[in-house]
A and B are shown apart, each in its own frame.
Chain A
Amino acid sequence: MNALLPLEDSAATEPDDTDVIIRAENVGKIYCRDLKTSLWYGLKDSVGDLVPGGRRPLDVNGEPILRRGEFWANRGVSFELRRGESLGLIGHNGAGKTTLLKMLNGLMRPDTGRIEMRGRVGALIALGAGFNPILTGRENIFINGSVLGLSRKEIEEKFDDIVEFSELDEFIDTPVRNYSSGMQVRLGFAVASALSPQILLLDEVLAVGDMHFRAKCFNRLSELRDSGVSFILVTHQLMDLSRYATRCLYLDHGQVKADADVTTAITRYLSEGPARKPTAAAEDDGEPGTGGIRISDVRFELEDHLAIDLQLTSQLAADQEIELGMTLTDESPDFMQFVVADDEAGHPLVAPAGGVSTLRVRLPGIFPQRAPWSLSVSISSRGASELFHKRGDLVIPQRPRPGHFGRAAGAVRVEQVLEPSPVRTQARPSR
């Protein structure tokens, strides 16, 4: 672990290098698909570290030779992050984002290359680590704080702030077991964000909690960002990227495909289709689809209502009756889902054979609470027996002008699947 502990915040002030707070050079990590084999390799490697000449064999390039069942979860990842910069990691599931984050957090050692970090590293990854449900919130603040590396004195100094932020004042001497899951997250976030790190690692932590507290979390994060904390965040919420990242690494199959500004990287990410062969263990939603019909372009129009134009490209030999699935989410747990199979005249939606067509979808006046939203769209055969294509995480930057949406500004929560009736669609084959 020592190899990865952050270097002491060096007092040295060489003009060149002090700005670099993270340097990763040719970082690689090898995983093994099968757990038992993996543990066996782990045992062998540990022993090999001790025995002279026991290290795993290298190929001519000095890289480890993969053994049976192994694959690269990260390979040749190099980047530098300077003070004031924040980095977003994007990529399909199994692209190696979380693995990279874990290495940056010092939880695992890279198999190749090296990582240097300067400054205190905080991680909003495991909220409430070490919580014991039988003990009170007060006791758990001290435990969680210690686990995250705060000294007793630091925790005592920050205790009131933590309690105030978590809004758990009257429950602070109640066992954590009696907290709702939202309250536990609040306490965990309050402790973790009291860490005053210089580098903050985030991995999709903000998907929980009620809306009021989430807003508070975002504010706290914005304060941290404005005070010069560097973020490294893994997220599928592309709108969080533009908010907290100044740069983006787009990872694919463990390798850096793009290291660019946020917009460029996202564009690359969205333009390259789903990962065809997911490599890592987690591969649940790597944008599946057989590809017979693809959503080749998506445009939004924000006039008196939200209209979405979907351009479909069919490679099928025959006209295909299709079904459209859409999910619209904002940063709260609320979401809207539509399934549409008929146009407004009641005719089935059809993607014409071997051609390009456009579908215009008008969304009804009930929306998740706050813009921006992310949208995922899927095209499948009517009856959903075959999924042709799915695009996730399209971003709609702002909500349509208010006024047309009646009570949408109130606390409307939409959580169930809506019937397609309020949706008007039009199939317009372009010839």
Chain B
Amino acid sequence: MGRLGQFMIDMWADLLASRELAWRLTVRDFSAMYRQSYAGYVWAFLPPLFASATFLLLRSGGVISVGDTGIPYPAFIFIGTLLWQVFVDALNNPARAMQTSMDMLVKVNFPREALVLSAVEMSLIGLAMRLVILVPVLAWYRFPLNASMALFPVGALGLVLLGTVMGLFLGTIGMLYQDVQRAIGIITTFWMFLTPVIAPGVRHGAIGVIMRLNPVTPILATTRDWLTGQPPEFLGGFFIVMGLTVVGLVAALMMYRLFLPRIVERLGM
């Protein structure tokens, strides 16, 4: 038991205690995001739409060539960019929650876990909104209903979880050094091309190795395969990464709880 045990118990208790506040913050951020906008929720759909259009144009012009995707390429790329967006949101939300609450963190004693919960909630809402547009796309391309579709939510949640864990680590360090925030912005673009988002996984060469080591690869690819009824190519990797993610989640929460108060007190002294 000892110190560590008590630490975990307190952490769990604070997580539970912060649910109401977290939801309040989520509603606040969500309302504020769309209060001043006419197009409103449409903005959530536009990035994958435009990304898809871009790569369709590039491919039809012969600028890029893409191997066999197994399903119609527009659907492949649309689902890919949409899932990637879900991951990036989850990656950015913890840091955003911490940065925008700096003033509160310095001055008010509230359970810090509320910010993490709120970040996860924001990511989940983003996911739910994107699903709304996924349904007509699937119908348009006449994807048959199949049993593996039922596994899609598992994969999508895994994507959110993976992004959140990475975002928690990076976000906490980002409170210390702003360099982290800037680096994330640049790296995510590059990262997308090392993930089978716009083209199926590469098997050979240096890129093939990187792509296989990239933790997002198995989660994103498997989720897409489940949704479209394809045989999941990276199923083994999926389970390994998910296992690590769950362990990582506990570690990230511990680090957050341990580091954040120290950082905040030094920033706000």
Genuine A/B complex:
yes
- Contact residues of A with B, CB < 8 Å? 1-2, 4-5, 31-32, 35, 38-39, 41-43, 45-46, 49-50, 73, 99, 102, 105-109, 121, 123, 125-126, 129-130, 132, 134-135, 139, 142-143, 146-149, 151-152, 281
Measured CA separation A368–B124 after assembly (Å): 56
- Take A1-B112, A129-B103, A281-B269 as given contacts and tell me if A146 and B258 are in contact as well, using a CB distance cutoff of 8 Å: no
CB pair B266 A32 closer than 8 Å: yes
Nearest first, the 7 closest Cβ-Cβ pairs linking A and B are A126-B107, A108-B265, A2-B10, A146-B24, A106-B109, A42-B262, A129-B108
- Take A43-B176, A108-B261, A130-B28 as given contacts and tell me if A147 and B104 are in contact as well, using a CB distance cutoff of 8 Å: yes
Pairs across A and B, CB under 8 Å, 16 listed: A1-B111, A35-B267, A39-B177, A41-B266, A46-B259, A107-B108, A107-B109, A107-B268, A129-B104, A130-B25, A132-B32, A134-B32, A135-B35, A142-B24, A143-B28, A151-B20
Measured CA separation A49–B257 after assembly (Å): 12
CB pair B31 A135 closer than 8 Å: yes
CB pair A126 B36 closer than 8 Å: no
CB pair A143 B25 closer than 8 Å: yes
- Take A134-B35, A143-B25, A281-B269 as given contacts and tell me if A39 and B176 are in contact as well, using a CB distance cutoff of 8 Å: yes
Instruction: Tell me the smallest distance from the CB of A40 to a CB of chain B, in Å.
Output: 9
CB pair B108 A42 closer than 8 Å: no
Measured CA separation A152–B27 after assembly (Å): 13
B173 to A, closest residue via Cβ: A43
Chain A positions within 8 Å of B24 at CB level: 142-143, 146-147, 152
Tell me which of A46, A121, A134 contacts B36 (CB under 8 A).
A134
Chain B positions within 8 Å of A123 at CB level: 107-109
Measured CA separation A357–B176 after assembly (Å): 56
A133 to B, closest residue via Cβ: B32
CB pair B265 A135 closer than 8 Å: no
Is B21 interfacial (CB-CB < 8 Å)? yes
A127 to B, closest residue via Cβ: B107
- Take A43-B176, A50-B258, A134-B36 as given contacts and tell me if A126 and B269 are in contact as well, using a CB distance cutoff of 8 Å: no
CB pair A148 B20 closer than 8 Å: no
Is B106 interfacial (CB-CB < 8 Å)? yes
CB pair A1 B109 closer than 8 Å: yes
- Take A42-B263, A46-B258 as given contacts and tell me if A125 and B269 are in contact as well, using a CB distance cutoff of 8 Å: no
Chain A positions within 8 Å of B28 at CB level: 130, 132, 135, 139, 143
A42 to B, closest residue via Cβ: B262
CB pair A107 B106 closer than 8 Å: yes
